[in-house]
Amino acid sequence: MIQISDLSKVYPDGTQALNGVTLQVRQGEQLVLLGHNGCGKSTLMKCLTGLEKPSSGKILLDQHDIHQLRGHKLRKVRQGVGCVFQQMNLVLDVSVLQNVLYGAMAKHGFWRVLNLTASRTLREQALWALEQVGLAELAARRTDMLSGGQQQRVAIARMLMQQAKIVFADEPVASLDPKAGREVMELLQRIVVEHGMTLICVLHQLDLAMQYGHRLVGMKKGKIVFDDTPDNLPAETFQELYHA
């Protein structure tokens, strides 16, 4: 369960990016965040992943306040959180297998997840994760030799390796062509459903949002302006949301 209570964020230059966001996301829910450029979606994702500190309010991930935790306890909570971001957060000059092995770093430490020193079990797990995303045959390839869609698949394999319970995806298909984007969303949804993960995903494509979100949350000027299932949202609501 993710509980966000009255979250606000004011950047040092005075920009108010979030203004009293309150949201509860149940285990296994797939939520899509929508909204015009600059409405605060990425800031919310950064607060959720701990990259930005909120100015006020609280975020509980499975009852743990991530902005209060330190050291071992923080690492333990982070271990259960997978990220698939637009800037893919992969290490590009190492192998695909190595990137997937990094998914086990929070649990096993840096030295034990290096390809040369990792246990056979860990390497088998990483290969299994790559099989799940259809990339096992590219395990030894340098990551920067993969296409954008393949790199996103590696990020999904890494999150499987991590045994993530919660997945934050910030515009995971933004840099992909429509076909590759749809394939990545299809894969992400299948993995999330199969493993009972909770997903919060920022999307700009309304068709993808309608197809892959069980729940759509719209933001405007740092606030939530709707929160409903795709079936319950009239087309005008979307138009209003994206009206400049």
Ligand X SMILES: Nc1ncnc2c1ncn2[C@@H]1O[C@H](COP(=O)(O)OP(=O)(O)OP(=O)(O)O)[C@@H](O)[C@H]1O
**Residue closer to ligand X (CB basis): 38 or 134:** 38
CB of 15: closest distance to ligand X in angstroms? Answer: 4
Nearer to ligand X, 128 or 242 (CB): 242
Min dist. Cβ of residue 39 to ligand X (A): 4
- Give strand pairing partners of 228: 216
User: Closer to ligand X at the Cβ: 39 or 197?
Assistant: 39
The span from the CA of 118 to the CA of 106, in Å, is: 14
Nearer to ligand X, 49 or 150 (CB): 49
Shortest Cβ 20–ligand X spacing (Å): 15
Q: Which of 28/57 has CB closer to ligand X? A: 57
Number of residues assigned to the chain? 244
Nearer to ligand X by Cβ, of 40 and 149: the residue is 40
* CA distances, 112 to each of 106, 116, 122, 154, 234 (Å): 10, 9, 9, 20, 51
Closest CA to 154 of 194, 106, 102, 112: 102
SS3 203: coil
Non-local (6+) Cβ contacts of 137 within 8 A are none
In angstroms, give the least distance from the CB of 190 to ligand X. 26
Angle at 27 between CA 18 and CA 50, to 5 degrees: 40
Interface positions with ligand X (CB under 6 A): 11, 13, 15, 17, 35, 37-43
Nearest to 19 by CA among 227, 220, 203: 220
**Residue 82 CB neighbours (<10 A):** 26
